[in-house]
Amino acid sequence: PMDVHSPEKHLKHVCYHEEVRRAYEYTLAWGFQDVFVKLYPHRQQYTFWDYRAPSSLEANKGWRIDHILATASLAEHCLRVEVDVEPRRAKDSSDHTFLWAEFSV
């Protein structure tokens, strides 16, 4: 999935810069898997929505900046991964929300 809505607009942003993305790929190369991508390779889901764009949450124009990485053997036991959007809707909430995973162990 895309990690940011409208990636072409953010190519030089510190959180989406090519060097940052390269470092993330390097981390994955150590043998980690992004369990969200493993389970839902085509789902466009974010964990951060900028308050400077008030409709960003409802329009799903955000960033997927929170990840759960697991070794390949642990990732095989991942049952589900969810983004809990409801806390983000609360008054005076964070611009991030919760990402969680369930594993069978």
Domains in the chain: boundaries: 7-103
Return the residue matching tokens 């809990």: 84
Write down the pLDDT at residue 80: 98
Return the residue matching tokens 């929170």: 66
Cβ–Cβ contacts within 10 Å for residue 64, how many? Answer: 21
Please answer whether residues 33 and 71 qualify as being in contact, where contact means their C-beta atoms are separated by less than 8 angstroms: yes
Identity of the amino acid at 101: A
Residues 25-75: tens digit of each pLDDT: 999 999 999 999 999 999 999 999 988 888 899 998 898 999 999 999 999
What is the C-alpha to C-alpha distance for residues 104 and 76, in angstroms, rounded to an integer? Answer: 9
More confident: 31 or 16? 31
> pLDDT at residue 1 above 60?
no
Architecture of domain 7-103: 4-Layer Sandwich (3.60)
